[in-house]
Amino acid sequence: MTAGNRVFIDTNVLIYANVAESPLHDVALARLNALHDSETECWLSRQVLREFLATLSRPQAFQKPKPVSTIVKRVRYLEQHFQIADADSSVTRRLLELVSSIPIGGKQMHDANIVATMLANDIFSLLTHNTTDFQRFAGYIKILPLQDTSGVTE
């Protein structure tokens, strides 16, 4: 696979795809299925898996916390069906480069670490619902919105 056939999946997309009560459940599932059908390599990181665990184990607007045994099974499934990028010294080096060149602080470090992980693994596309969180990194990655809003009128 080439770098053009790789997409990093943000935590929110996984949450929506795994929670039937989510308002974006069908959209997230359709996007992940389309990537699979196009033989695109879908990537996650250990950070995303931790965020997935944390999110599903606390109350959400559209659901109660899932049983830990259910969440563990889902994480094991994700590990088997997605490529997993581990954090190593190259991710830290990329993170420090990003922090040195873009104003970042606080919770934004989590997003910066996702981008650093992507860059360290030659992944240049990110599927996310939180597009505005990643705009500061648009010079480094392509941001793929979960929903196509090009036809939406106000």
Please report the pLDDT score of residue 50 as a whole number.
Answer: 96
d(CA 23, CA 25): 6
d(CA 97, CA 150): 33
| Contact indicator for 84, 46 with CB cutoff of 8 Å | yes
Please report the pLDDT score of residue 3 as a whole number.
Answer: 58
The pLDDT tens digits for 54-66 are 999 988 777 788 8
Domains belonging to the chain, first-starting first, are 3-145 (3.40.50.1010)
Please report the pLDDT score of residue 148 as a whole number.
Answer: 75
Angle in degrees, 0-180, between the axes of helices 89-101 and 108-120, rounded to the nearest 10 = 120
